[in-house]
Structure 1
Amino acid sequence: MLRPETIAQMPKVELHCHLDGSLSLSCIKTLAKNAKINLNLTDEEILEKAQAPENTRNLLEYLARFDFVLPLLQSYTNLELAAYDVARQAALDNIRYIEIRFAPEQHLLQNLTLEEAVEAVVAGLSRAEENFDIIANALVCGLRQSTLEKLEKLPPIFDHINDSHLVGFDLAGDELNYPQQKFSGLLAQVNARNVHITLHAGECPHCEQNIVDSVNMGATRIGHGIMSKNLPEYQETLISEKIVLEMAPSSNFQTKSVTRIEDYPFKQLYDMGVHVTLNTDNRTVSNTTLQKEYEKISTWYPDFGIEDFEQINHYAIDGAFIDIVEKEALHFKFTDEYKKISD
């Protein structure tokens, strides 16, 4: 098992981080002040509302925590500040490349347009890059429970915003009641624009088919993908197609994707050659950091060494929604830095 001090030295990549689930306590209080919302809560009470309990009943209970912060994220100023805050936290976590996803349709209560919401987030990420050793990009996320009419307003965002920080598209939310097949037309519109796609799939029991459908609909990455463990006949496809799984141990247990460590498929899939990666999902909601996620994996699998953590970061770089030149630069940088790490 690696020491936390060793893990802290590791440069990291994070592909799966939700903006509204990852705000720091200080940021939440600043956002409330800016929005002229009197929370009238102690720090402990704020965190109680923003963090999911260790033993949530299911994914929907976990997702309910987002309702607390969304009223604070309805202005350009606050969205810019929130994006900066999450990227700042990531940089302190020794993350060198991160993709932060958010659903712009949830931030329009004060008359922002979809494009303005995206521009605010992009501006915050760009500002963070100026102040920290990090590359931070954004993903537009649609919510499955929204109407198709609302969701179909998202692909044109990529026509109107020409910024290198806007790099891909995602669908999140209740995948059990809104399976992937319902969104084939929407995803065809995204594919037609040559936009990179990652889709939440296989996060809940009995959702295996969503993984297969996601890949068939153009996704090169799968958000979570836990239930790929139940698709032995499809695992070879995941390997041959180099599909990246964005796994998040703390979140995966909280949402009841799995309930026992022996059922968690991370190491099994890694040993097979599936391109698994580690992510926080929601720093605040899950009360975690990427450092903590690495420490969990090191504790659960004591033989998972420095070279294995390096490998999953190279998998993440391969899956990142950036061009080949940027990927090669990151691969070189990570290879060089991991050579210098000793336990």
Structure 2
Amino acid sequence: MIRVSDSKYFIFGTIYPKNSQKKERNVLKPEIIAQMPKVELHCHLDGSLSLNCIKQLAKNAKINLEMTDEEILEKAQAPENTRNLLEYLARFDFVLPLLQTYTNLELAAYDVARQAGQDNVKYIEIRFAPSQHLLEGLSLEEAVEAVVAGLARAEKDFDLKANALVCGLKQEPLEKLNKLVSVFDKVRDEHLVGFDMAGDEMNFPQIKFRDLLGKITMRGVQVTLHAGECPDCERNILDSIKMGASRIGHGIMTKNLSKAEQEMMIEKQIVLEMAPTSNFQTKAVTELAQYPFKELYDKGIHVTLNTDNRCVSATTLQKEYEKISAWYPEFSLADFEKINHYAIDGAFIGQVEKEALHERFSKEYQKISD
């Protein structure tokens, strides 16, 4: 702990109010958090590869990285003091050349699901942009089929269910984005469950993609959209909901919406996919007092916890839970259970599967509390 003023302390790279130290004894122990079953709704494939996987992908692709492990991680991980979202996104350029074949995409999907299993994740949705993986001749459909094959293999080896989301990048031309629509016509696999839009939110507002999203939702595809991740971007949250999104990626600027707009989100059970480490790195917020996770939770908004990018943010879901527990010592086991039930409600799966997960989580959290 480093003292920085009479009223604040610096812990884990974040400034805390001084009086938060009085509550430290209530922080949940890491071994308790490790026992918690978890749901993760917001995880990017290309930003979540393990170091060993990156090296294997390079070997498969016959790319000699000629780097130490430390040098690889320096390229793949964003610095803690990332200047903005665009600098954070630049880290993806390093791994994309390694993800251009069916074999490597399948292996990458398996690797990310494996890591989730280590976090005691029982259900995960992994999103990726298939248009980024076509440099060696794969079609959009083949890229998707490779990812779902890797997820299906992971389900056989680990105690979890893993599904995929197709992601469009906002900075790509609309003509290119519209080609993603056909993926949902051609790939008929139970592991392909939804659609997302990610990328440069400030320069490409959500409303620009209204027609594209209409084509997606008319096919019965469930939608989550990145929105409200940058200052003054709360309009994108409301537009996303109007265009059919039942979940919002990050949604930090929900804190700036009116009471009536927040109550609308509660009524519609809109789920926020928040990721604390990433949210600070991308400068969605710069200090803990600005971070609205607990504020929104207390209002009844359906917040959830996610990694976003395990590798780029050098995190795990275990670490994200530990941060929330440290930041908000009053956040109890029951509160963590509740946000997981929110995540189950928001998952892009059928009602029977949701009910089974709800029952399983209730029983397992009860065992932990006993």
> Structure 2-normalised TM-score?
0.92
| C-alpha distance in 1 between matches for 2:56 and 2:35 | 31
Given candidates 99, 103, 106, the residue that maps to 1:80 is 106
Partner of 2:284: 257
The ranges of structure 1 where at least 4 consecutive aligned residues each deviate by more than 2 angstroms after the TM superposition are none
What is the DSSP-based 3-state SS (H/G/I as helix, E as strand, rest coil) of the residue aligned with 2:229? coil
The structural deviation recorded for 1:126 is 0.1
> Contact (CA 8 Å) 1:199, 1:219: kept in 2 or not?
yes
Given candidates 279, 282, 287, the residue that maps to 2:309 is 282
| C-alpha distance in 1 between matches for 2:195 and 2:349 | 13
The structural deviation recorded for 1:155 is 1.3
Given candidates 205, 223, 229, the residue that maps to 1:197 is 223
Matched, 1:301 2:328: yes
Given candidates 136, 152, 161, the residue that maps to 1:135 is 161
The structural deviation recorded for 1:156 is 1.1
What is the DSSP-based 3-state SS (H/G/I as helix, E as strand, rest coil) of the residue aligned with 1:56? coil
Post-superposition Cα deviations, 1:278-334, rounded to whole Å, max 9, x if no partner, equal 000000000000000000000000000000000000000000000000000000000
Post-superposition Cα deviations, 1:233-283, rounded to whole Å, max 9, x if no partner, equal 311111000000000000000000000101100000000000000000000
Matched, 1:271 2:298: yes
Given candidates 129, 142, 147, the residue that maps to 1:121 is 147
| C-alpha distance in 2 between matches for 1:93 and 1:301 | 21
| C-alpha distance in 1 between matches for 2:156 and 2:130 | 24
Given candidates 335, 339, 342, the residue that maps to 2:362 is 335
> What amino acid maps onto 1:178 in structure 2?
F
| C-alpha distance in 1 between matches for 2:349 and 2:243 | 20
Given candidates 26, 30, 35, the residue that maps to 2:56 is 30
What is the DSSP-based 3-state SS (H/G/I as helix, E as strand, rest coil) of the residue aligned with 2:237? helix
What is the DSSP-based 3-state SS (H/G/I as helix, E as strand, rest coil) of the residue aligned with 1:204? coil
The structural deviation recorded for 1:87 is 0.2
Partner of 2:338: 311
Partner of 2:80: 54
- Residue segments in structure 1 that go unaligned for 5+ positions in a row: none
Partner of 1:8: 34
Matched, 1:211 2:237: yes
Partner of 2:200: 174
| C-alpha distance in 1 between matches for 2:152 and 2:220 | 23
Partner of 2:128: 102
| C-alpha distance in 2 between matches for 1:230 and 1:22 | 30
Matches within 5 A, 1:206-245: 206-233=232-259, 234-245=261-272
> What amino acid maps onto 2:269 in structure 1?
K
| C-alpha distance in 1 between matches for 2:327 and 2:181 | 40
> What amino acid maps onto 1:292 in structure 2?
K
Given candidates 69, 90, 96, the residue that maps to 1:43 is 69
| C-alpha distance in 2 between matches for 1:215 and 1:65 | 29
> What amino acid maps onto 2:289 in structure 1?
E
The structural deviation recorded for 1:232 is 2.3
The structural deviation recorded for 1:141 is 0.0
| C-alpha distance in 2 between matches for 1:151 and 1:341 | 45
> Structure 1-normalised TM-score?
0.99
> Contact (CA 8 Å) 1:6, 1:342: kept in 2 or not?
no
What is the DSSP-based 3-state SS (H/G/I as helix, E as strand, rest coil) of the residue aligned with 1:156? helix
Partner of 2:181: 155
> What amino acid maps onto 1:90 in structure 2?
A
What is the DSSP-based 3-state SS (H/G/I as helix, E as strand, rest coil) of the residue aligned with 1:17? strand
What is the DSSP-based 3-state SS (H/G/I as helix, E as strand, rest coil) of the residue aligned with 2:248? strand
> What amino acid maps onto 1:128 in structure 2?
A
> Contact (CA 8 Å) 1:121, 1:138: kept in 2 or not?
yes
Partner of 2:273: 246
| C-alpha distance in 1 between matches for 2:119 and 2:298 | 26
| C-alpha distance in 1 between matches for 2:181 and 2:288 | 39
Query: Which moved further from structure 2: 90-99 or 226-235?
Result: 226-235
| C-alpha distance in 2 between matches for 1:216 and 1:232 | 16
| C-alpha distance in 2 between matches for 1:143 and 1:40 | 31
The structural deviation recorded for 1:204 is 0.5
| RMSD (CA atoms) | 0.6
The structural deviation recorded for 1:107 is 0.0
| C-alpha distance in 2 between matches for 1:263 and 1:50 | 28
What is the DSSP-based 3-state SS (H/G/I as helix, E as strand, rest coil) of the residue aligned with 2:132? helix
> What amino acid maps onto 1:109 in structure 2?
L
The structural deviation recorded for 1:337 is 0.2
**Rg larger in structure:** 2
Partner of 2:44: 18
What is the DSSP-based 3-state SS (H/G/I as helix, E as strand, rest coil) of the residue aligned with 2:138? coil
